[in-house]
Amino acid sequence: MPLHRTQTSPDVLAADVYATRAAERPVPKLRIPKQGLRADVALNLVRDELSFDGNARQNLATFCQTWLEEEVHRLMDQSIDKNMVDRDEYPATAEIERRCVHIIADLWQVPDTKEAIGCSTAGSSEAAMLGGLAMKRRWEAIRRSQGKPTDRPNLITGPVQVCWHKFARYFDVELREIPMAHGRLGMTPEEVASRVDENTIGVVPTLGVTFTGRYEPVAEIAACLDTIERERGYDIPIHVDAASGGFLAPFVEPELVWDFRLPRVKSINASGHKFGLAPLGVGWVMWREKTDLPDELVFWVNYLGGNMPDFALNFSRPGGQVIAQYYLLMRLGRDGYRAIQQSCYDVAQHLATSLGKIGPFEILFGGDSRNGIPAVCWTLKRDADVRFTLFDLSDRLRTRGWQVAAYTLVPDLQEVTVMRALVRHGLSRDMADTLLDDLHDAMAYFTKHPQAAVADETESGSDPHGGVHPSRTQAKTT
């Protein structure tokens, strides 16, 4: 009987992704390769790179939505080729955006929703800048009509995230940011009144401060500005940065007055991809009336097939997120949004209560829906007998996959270090209990293994409970 030798065919090996020559070489990092790869090989190599990212579901540092229904994924796939700005080519997508504008305007109590003026954006930062630009242009027009100079505009905010710093720098506006202080973690009417003058283009209270999760008192600030107009003659508008709270308060606390029910509120921005539950990235900006959006900010474009208005900073951008937002508004309705957001608040309050029991923590904000977003912000008690910093605790939690931000507060509380956990749709009570168990285990670990860095700080006279850990930089808070 003849002996037949078998030989593995190169084609058989080539069928396996990791048997290809491409899998044996480093992936291109600085230059496009001369020859391309099979689709499955390129896909797996990129997937391998992405496997080193953290688990988004355990990322409690981000405000952005990380859990989405399968139907949203399908809509995003179907919409991947739709350009939001090309309203003539994609009229159905344009109509969906128009419907969203009217629905959100109604949520925010625009006086006449039939005349609602607003648009989608790439995120709430772009939406905020559009609101800021509208305030600046209106102020300039009034000053010119009075024969007064327009070279020294200023904007008053509480402690804000970087988008308002960008706005001030990019568009030459003095940012008068109210610093934090012990007993005051945000904007107050008194602090606003001490900073306004004839060059103030607007005041921006935040409905969900990045650093603590708290709402700033919009109605009280509006009343303060009403008094200032009567006494000093300054008619100063309000733009509400509702990046987080804009899709929370209307559902969970509908009686809370912060929106267009206040005549002084001229514009509002929010993130659809935060508590609007839509995928990254979509924001919304609304104006009270058409006259609140100066005509000079509107561009008419005719080279896409029709003559269309455009007043966003970005031009071409995907339409899928807007479509997904409309799906969610239809899919959930008021009752669905209310149920989801209330569940987030319930979990946040459970976290806050439990943290107070298992650790030496002072809760700065515990997820009260009347006063802020579903988030928990805490610091170490001043008299806590511990051998770790909150930075150490944040690092230790990463070994279990959790990303919980630790960072120092802004002026004038830079010496205070806090941790913050955002509770979003998809973080269940069971997951929160797992986080609490891991927090407890982390503290037990530090009891057995005191951190040498903390001992060094204590010996040098610095405060291990509040100050910045010397080997770490401030945590990302977006």
Same domain, 317 and 346: no
43: in domain: no
The predicted structure's pLDDT at residue 4: 59
**236 and 122 housed in the same domain:** yes
* pLDDT computed for residue 1 by the predictor: 55
What's the whole-model pTM score? Answer: 0.89
DSSP 180: P
* Shared-domain flag, residues 401 and 286: no
- 351 shares its domain with 388: yes
Partner residues linked to 119 by β-bridges: 285
Place of tokens 């648009």: 119
- Distance (Å, rounded) from C-alpha 333 to C-alpha 326? 10
d(CA 292, CA 286): 10
How far apart CA 473 and CA 417 sit, in angstroms, is 12
Do 207 and 288 fall into the same domain?
yes
Closest CA to 244 of 210, 211, 217: 210
Residue 474 lies in a domain: no
- Whether 400 and 438 have beta carbons less than 8 Å apart is answered as yes
Backbone angles phi, psi at 284, to 5 degrees: -140, 140
Crossing angle of helices 70-78 and 320-358, in 10° steps, is 150
Q: Give yes or no: residues 143 and 287 share one domain.
A: yes
324, 348: one domain: no
**C-alpha pair distances (Å), 422 with each of 23, 53, 180, 274, 435:** 39, 19, 21, 11, 12
Domain count, the chain: 2
Query: Is residue 85 in some structural domain?
Result: yes
| The pLDDT value given to residue 462 | 42
- In a domain, residue 26? The reply is no
Tell me 35's DSSP state.
S
Residue where one domain finishes, among candidates 329, 362, 383: 329
Place of tokens 């455009």: 310
Q: Are residues 211 and 106 in the same domain?
A: yes
Is 22 a member of any domain? no
Q: In which residue ranges of the chain is pLDDT below 50?
A: 452-453, 455-478
Q: What's residue 456's pLDDT?
A: 43
47 lies in some domain? no
Residue range of the domain that includes 186: 74-329
Identify whether 368 is part of a domain.
Answer: yes
Both 245 and 378 in one domain: the answer is: no
Tokens for 243, please give them.
């990046």
Residue 217: CA count within 13 A, CB half-sphere:
14
Q: Could you give the CA distance from residue 239 to residue 128 in angstroms, rounded to a whole number?
A: 8
Clarify whether residues 393 and 246 are in a common domain: no
Would 63 be classed as within a structural domain?
A: no
Q: Could you tell me the sign of the dihedral formed by the alpha carbons of 424, 429, 434, 437, in that order?
A: positive
Last residue of a domain, one of 329, 353, 376: 329
CATH code assigned at 372: 3.90.1150.160
Helix (H) or strand (E) holding 176: strand 174-177
Q: What are phi and psi of 299, to 5 degrees?
A: -110, 140
What is the CATH classification number for the domain harbouring 278?
Answer: 3.40.640.10
Looking at the fold, whether 303 and 351 belong to one and the same domain comes out as no
Q: Which two tokens stand for residue 358?
A: 């298992």
Tens digits of residue pLDDT in 444-474: 999 888 754 454 444 444 444 444 433 333 3
Q: What is the pLDDT of residue 312?
A: 75
Please tell me whether residues 135 and 272 are part of one structural domain.
yes
Sheet holding 200-204, edge to edge: 117-121, 283-287, 265-271, 238-241, 200-204, 154-157, 174-177
Instruction: Note whether 362 and 182 are within 8 A (CB).
Output: no
Per-residue pLDDT at 19? 79
Residue 328: predicted pLDDT: 97
